[in-house]
Structure 1
Amino acid sequence: MGKKAEISIGVMRREDLDQVLAIEQVSFNQPWSLSLFEQELRKPALSTSFVACTGERGSRSVLGYLVFWVVAQEMHILNLAVAPAGRRKGIAKLLILSGLRYALAKGARMAFLEVRASNRPARNLYHGLGFVNSALRKSYYDSPPEDALVMTLPEDAFVQAASAGNKT
């Protein structure tokens, strides 16, 4: 039996984008374009993008990614996806906890995101981390049309989850 590959979290780089786009396209009905990811990478004062990967620089394999902003003490999670073969293995949780830890260090005290109302696996993940349903955005998504749940991680749960992220 082979040794289990170690997963590391790092900053997304331009050379990761081919793999990121492949994950994006199999994960969403309306995937982000290459230019949207490039825009996020060009705004380091506002936007942060992490990848979960195995391997070393130049030969690493991207398993998932997280894109978020930290603005005015808030972390806004914009995009999160994991490759189908890596799902239900804790990779999304690892990415979120790493993002929360980073956002806390940058002054954030709460987090929020939008998620398709029908996306039960994602909602379960977020609830497990302490996120609560805080609003409904009617007809937020297209293809197919659907409402979005706004989920919020309040300050006490945010600090607790970000601190737990230090132990992963």
Structure 2
Amino acid sequence: MLVMKPEVRRMTMNDVDQVHDIERRAHSNPWSKLTFQREVIGSHHNTCLVAEIGERIIGFTCMYHILEEGHITNVAVDASHQNRGIATCLLLAAIDYACGRGVKYMTLEVRKSNTKAQHLYIKFGFRMKGIRKGYYTDNYEDALIFWTGDITSEYYTDLFDEIRRDLENK
């Protein structure tokens, strides 16, 4: 249930501390502050978005975009705001941003054990296309590789519109 719709915007250097706090709590092998700083500085082919309510960041996503391909590299929502549609808002914003940059296909890796995230990605039309054996260095867990079809196609634009409507009605 989405209690309050967050504002979603591009991450700035001022956001890095809050984002890194969420990252450390959400992931067993977290990115460093320096990695997030580099994401903000080197923003020609990468983008990080934050979801915030008031001045508090409650989630973020990062992605690379080169030519027609977008690669979601990180998504996390603060534990106290999970199951409220925040990740859905972030993915919708990331896809909108990607489409604006000419991206047609999205990909990502997700831990084999992270079924909650897998369900979210499947809702967005991602489909598993492969496995990266031992991908995660903290425990050598496999990563599932997910891809979309053409996100500018009628199928995907209708799907994203339906997800938006469902989110607004909650």
Instruction: Name the residue aligned to 2:14.
Output: 15
Identity rate, percent? 31
Instruction: Name the residue aligned to 2:136.
Output: 141
Q: Could you list the per-position Cα deviations for residues 92-138 of structure 1 after superposition, in whole angstroms to 9, with x for gaps in the alignment?
A: 01100101011001100010000000001100110111110011000
- Please say if 1:86 is aligned against 2:81: yes
Q: Secondary structure at the match of 1:118?
A: coil
**Unaligned 5+ runs, structure 1:** none
Residues 138 and 147 of structure 1 are in contact (CA less than 8 Å); yes or no, is this contact kept in structure 2? yes
* Structure 1 Cα separation of the partners of residues 20 and 127 of structure 2: 29
Residues 63 and 71 of structure 2 are in contact (CA less than 8 Å); yes or no, is this contact kept in structure 1? yes
Tell me the TM-score normalised to structure 1 length.
0.89
Residues 101 and 162 of structure 1 are in contact (CA less than 8 Å); yes or no, is this contact kept in structure 2? no
Tell me the TM-score normalised to structure 2 length.
0.88
Q: Could you list the per-position Cα deviations for residues 16-75 of structure 1 after superposition, in whole angstroms to 9, with x for gaps in the alignment?
A: 1111011000111110001100111111211111000011xxxx1000001011112011
Q: Which moved more, 1:149-158 or 1:93-102?
A: 149-158
Which of 64, 74, 80 is 1:69 aligned to?
A: 64
Structure with greater strand share of residues: 1
**Unaligned 5+ runs, structure 2:** none
Q: Secondary structure at the match of 1:31?
A: coil
Residues 63 and 82 of structure 1 are in contact (CA less than 8 Å); yes or no, is this contact kept in structure 2? yes
Instruction: Name the residue aligned to 1:124.
Output: 119
Instruction: Name the residue aligned to 1:33.
Output: 32
